[in-house]
Amino acid sequence: MSIEARRDVFQAISDPTRRQIINLIAHKAMNLNALTENFNMSRPAISQHVKILTECGLVVIRQEGRERFCEAKLDKLSEVSDWVEQYSKFWNKQFDALDKFLKNKKTNTNHEA
């Protein structure tokens, strides 16, 4: 299995530095030097994070002359949203059932008193 086959959007957002990179380039494309200025780490470390984001499909690198600009591809985050949504529906059903149970319990307790 290749490294790229193991990478997914969840791996990308699991790291706070990568989330911060996504946040920065979501507003405007940035080159690696400009990105690195926002962190207390080396350019190679930021490059490694960008590489992972690229492999996950959340960043594309655009060449402009000698500069390489990182651009966010946020449509891939819909995978996270879809995954979270399924559990949101599950928990909403659970809370609705609990609410119904508690209301019935309260009604039964009031009738017994």
**What single-letter amino acid sits at 19?**
R
> Could you report the per-residue pLDDT of 16-29, keeping only the tens digit for each?
999 999 999 999 99
Domain ranges, ordered by start, for the chain: 3-74, 77-112
The span from the CA of 71 to the CA of 26, in Å, is: 7
Q: What is the mean pLDDT of residues 31-44?
A: 95
Q: What is the mean pLDDT of residues 76-86?
A: 84
Q: How confident is the model at residue 6 (pLDDT cuts 50, 70, 90)?
A: low
- Res 4 pLDDT > 60: no
Mean pLDDT of the chain: 87
- Do residues 49 and 11 touch, judged by C-beta distance below 8 A? no
| Residue 67, beta-bridge partner list | 64
Q: What is the CATH number of domain 3-74?
A: 1.10.10.10
Q: Mention every residue, 6+ apart, whose C-beta is less than 8 A from residue 55.
A: 3, 4, 7
